[in-house]
Copies of this chain bind each other. A is one copy, B any other.
Amino acid sequence: MRQSRLLTKTKKEAPSDEVAKNAQLLIQAGYIYKNMAGAYSFLPLGLRVIEKINNIIREEMNSIGGQEMYMPSLQEDRLWKLTDRWSDENVDVWFKSELQAGGQVGFGWTHEEVVTDIMRQYVSSYKDLPFSAYQIQTKFRNEVRAKSGIMRTREFWMKDLYSFCATQEQHDEFYEAAAKAYERIFDRIGIGEKTYKTFASGGAFSKFSHEYQTLAEAGEDIVYVNEKKGIAINEEVLGEADLSELGVTREELVEAKSIEVGNIFSLGTKFSEAIGLTFKDEKGENRPVIMGSYGIGPARSMGTVVDLLSDEKGIVWPESIAPFRVHLVALNTDDQEVKDWADGIYTVLQKEGVEVLYDDRDARPGEKFADSDLLGIPYRVVASRKGKEQGTFEVVTRKTGEVRNLSEEELLADFDDEE
């Protein structure tokens, strides 16, 4: 895409009303726009990043058999009363409104009740199990205080997967597969090294649940970590008995700030019993389905990447989720020959299937480089008069600052290799 046609522009300064680094950088670079406290727009560059994250999530959810679907936000009280999660006393994040046709509706903040109800019509025998379903859908939560930029908002996408099993063995097997898929997701979006599967309290149906916590100074959570043992523990399970079960002592653990980027949870038969999702087992006896739920926030993951990987010059995207792979920057665009040369390599790169943002604007080199650093696209390819004379492009790796001068042939070979 030609940057001269991109509807967004970078700003000289970070916005004064944001304290979170992710929101400051993403707004300054034109990835997002703050519409109100806790509700952001994703502008063209920002939506490209979200879509890449979503596609990584989809691939990994599909790889463990997850079937994608989509449930509505609008909720009647019926199902939620069965699980005692309708009243504002029990759940303090509902947005509710009045139907003109009469009656109250709520805007979904999670979907356990909804998905359990839907599956009642499709599950009758143990032969229908196990399976899992997920959606990437918008949740609404009436947070008293929106904070941390795109990390804690009142409206946000969530990938929520739900599993349905006949036996505890089936459930445990799926839970492990989901945990591994989560690790692959965080690896692929570039925060795997800092992200710990963290032990948290499990509720009535399992000893532990698991949060995926990314160690980060900007985090609003606290975890207790032993990096050497590769273990992290939530405050809830810091008791002696829990620690001994996990094979660590309190002294071995260091307190660290972190961001919860995902969680997985054994639900047992809580929802299936309340809502009536049962199946006939091999003996013909009716039993409630054993469920699990598995969440990831795509925008929170995006914010975490920005908080964790950016430097003093701006954002540093991992290739896997960058809005474009290459930022082609044309200098000396007043010289028609240089301009044609830059246009030429733009056409060639596009033809080769390389995703390119092409800075074809009439602007000073300093401004272009500052914008390029701020935007954080992995490879900057500079087309200049000097380069043209030498027959080379300057290729700068955003993450390392490494500079290489490559001929067109070398450049194309380079991007071919790295696909």
Chain A residues at the B interface, C-beta cutoff of 8 Å: 5-9, 11, 30, 33, 35-44, 46-47, 50, 65, 67-76, 92, 95-97, 99-101, 105, 107, 114, 117-119, 121-122, 131, 133, 138, 140, 142-146, 154-155
The reply to whether B131 and A38 contact each other, CB–CB distance below 8 Å, is no
Question: Measured between C-beta atoms, what is the minimum distance from A371 to chain B in Å?
Answer: 14
The reply to whether B140 and A73 contact each other, CB–CB distance below 8 Å, is yes
Give Cα distance in the complex from A92 to B101, angstroms: 12
The reply to whether A74 and B154 contact each other, CB–CB distance below 8 Å, is yes
Question: Measured between C-beta atoms, what is the minimum distance from A111 to chain B in Å?
Answer: 9
The reply to whether A8 and B122 contact each other, CB–CB distance below 8 Å, is yes
Contact of A41 among B9, B35, B44, B70 (CB under 8 A): B70
Question: Measured between C-beta atoms, what is the minimum distance from A59 to chain B in Å?
Answer: 15
Question: Measured between C-beta atoms, what is the minimum distance from A40 to chain B in Å?
Answer: 7
The reply to whether A69 and B43 contact each other, CB–CB distance below 8 Å, is yes
The reply to whether B100 and A107 contact each other, CB–CB distance below 8 Å, is no
Known A36-B76, A74-B36, A76-B36; judge A69-B97 contact (CB<8 A).
Answer: no
The reply to whether A74 and B155 contact each other, CB–CB distance below 8 Å, is yes
Give Cα distance in the complex from A134 to B217, angstroms: 36
Known A131-B7, A142-B100; judge A38-B74 contact (CB<8 A).
Answer: yes
The reply to whether B35 and A74 contact each other, CB–CB distance below 8 Å, is yes
The reply to whether B100 and A97 contact each other, CB–CB distance below 8 Å, is no
The reply to whether A74 and B41 contact each other, CB–CB distance below 8 Å, is no
Give Cα distance in the complex from A4 to B276, angstroms: 23
Give Cα distance in the complex from A283 to B33, angstroms: 31
The reply to whether A35 and B114 contact each other, CB–CB distance below 8 Å, is yes
Known A101-B144, A131-B5, A144-B101; judge A69-B40 contact (CB<8 A).
Answer: no
Give Cα distance in the complex from A53 to B38, angstroms: 31
Question: Measured between C-beta atoms, what is the minimum distance from A97 to chain B in Å?
Answer: 4
Question: Measured between C-beta atoms, what is the minimum distance from A95 to chain B in Å?
Answer: 4
Given A8-B122, A50-B70, A74-B155, 4 other A-B contacts at CB below 8 A? A7-B67, A46-B69, A46-B70, A99-B142
Give Cα distance in the complex from A396 to B30, angstroms: 52
Question: Measured between C-beta atoms, what is the minimum distance from A4 to chain B in Å?
Answer: 9
Known A100-B142, A118-B33; judge A44-B72 contact (CB<8 A).
Answer: no
Known A44-B68, A122-B7; judge A39-B74 contact (CB<8 A).
Answer: yes
Contact of A138 among B9, B131, B138 (CB under 8 A): B138
Give Cα distance in the complex from A7 to B68, angstroms: 10
Q: A27: nearest residue on chain B (CB-CB)?
A: B121
Contact of A72 among B40, B75, B131 (CB under 8 A): B40
Give Cα distance in the complex from A131 to B2, angstroms: 13
Residues of B within 8 A of A50 (CB): 70
Question: Measured between C-beta atoms, what is the minimum distance from A323 to chain B in Å?
Answer: 12
Question: Measured between C-beta atoms, what is the minimum distance from A142 to chain B in Å?
Answer: 5
Which of A11, A73, A138 has most chain B Cβ within 10 Å? A73
